[in-house]
């Protein structure tokens, strides 16, 4: 795998790249890093050129002097794609990464080929600091993550991001409502949810699938919030089948 640092405005984005073929971009969730795609990247890289940025303030990506919310992170991903010449990739977003992917596709659907949303956030929760703290506590192991071997990665990435970055990002994603945007996402879309997800219930995936113009929902049994780590074989199979399907 190749690693790169790209200056985009006043932020410095770290990314991991591998494989050859049509482009795919993977966006991690809250408190995450490129390591969250450890079971997905090598499989997709057999067929695609895979790009994995670490979102502003997470992993090794350094934030600028201003607060980076969902809108600012979306702009940073868009500008990062432009800086690297990534044209019309398949876009796969998990949790907060899925919320950012929705914003990107709603604004400029022609920038993206097919869209995969894995347990995407974007349907608001009550606006309160206590609710953000509760959501953040639920996002950390062991409650929300079905694979014990993945707990150390989640905890280490959360520690690296720091409580201030995590709480600000959690507050922002809990209050941002993507529902008015969904009708503008004209890309073919696959939604993948874990049946045991305690953070983002399957009902949120069903609501998104009904509102998106061209979407279907796949629910993975015995998977929690991080389905690509909980059930990597099943996750990779449904994603590959979707990305490799003939054009309609």
* Domains in the chain: boundaries: 2-244
CA pair distance 93, 118, nearest whole angstrom: 6
SS3 117: strand
The answer to whether 43 and 24 are in contact (CB under 8 A) is no
Beta strands 2-8 and 23-27 are unpaired
pLDDT of residue 196: 87
pLDDT of residue 197: 87
168-206 per-position pLDDT tens digit: 777 777 789 999 999 999 999 999 999 988 888 899 999
pLDDT of residue 8: 93
The answer to whether 156 and 182 are in contact (CB under 8 A) is no
CA pair distance 104, 186, nearest whole angstrom: 12
CA pair distance 33, 58, nearest whole angstrom: 6
Q: In whole angstroms, what separates CA 116 from the centre of its chain?
A: 9
pLDDT of residue 102: 98
pLDDT of residue 148: 67
The answer to whether 69 and 96 are in contact (CB under 8 A) is no
Beta strands 11-18 and 2-8 are antiparallel
67-100 per-position pLDDT tens digit: 678 998 999 999 999 999 999 999 999 999 999 9
The CATH code that applies to domain 2-244 is 3.40.50.1820
pLDDT of residue 159: 66
pLDDT of residue 143: 47
Of the candidates 96, 28, 39, the one whose C-alpha atom is nearest the C-alpha of residue 228 is: 39
Kindly report the pTM of this predicted structure: 0.88
For the chain, list residues with pLDDT below 70: 64-67, 125-149, 151-152, 155, 157-159, 161-167
């Amino acid at each position: 795998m190749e690693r790169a640092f790209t200056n985009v405005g006043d932020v410095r984005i770290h990314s991991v790249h591998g494989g050859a073929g049509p482009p795919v971009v993977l966006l991690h969730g809250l408190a995450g890093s490129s390591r969250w795609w450890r079971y997905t990247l090598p499989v997709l890289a057999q067929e695609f050129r895979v790009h994995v940025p670490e979102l502003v303030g997470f992993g090794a990506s350094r934030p600028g002097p201003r607060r980076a919310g969902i809108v600012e992170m979306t702009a940073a991903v868009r500008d990062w794609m432009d800086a690297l010449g990534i044209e019309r990739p398949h876009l796969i977003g998990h949790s907060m990464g899925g919320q950012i992917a929705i914003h990107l596709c709603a604004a400029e659907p022609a920038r993206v080929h097919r869209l995969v949303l894995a347990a995407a956030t974007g349907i608001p929760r009550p606006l309160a600091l206590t609710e953000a703290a509760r959501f953040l506590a639920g996002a950390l192991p062991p409650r929300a993550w079905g694979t014990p071997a993945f707990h150390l990665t989640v905890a280490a990435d959360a520690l690296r991001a720091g409580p201030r970055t995590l709480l600000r990002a959690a507050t922002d994603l809990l209050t941002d409502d993507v529902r008015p945007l969904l009708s503008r996402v004209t890309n073919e879309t696959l939604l993948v949810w874990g049946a045991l997800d305690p953070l983002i219930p399957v009902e949120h995936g069903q609501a998104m699938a009904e509102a998106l113009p061209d979407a279907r929902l796949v629910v993975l049994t015995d998977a929690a919030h991080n389905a690509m780590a909980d059930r990597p074989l099943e996750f990779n199979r449904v994603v590959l089948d979707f990305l490799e399907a003939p054009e309609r």
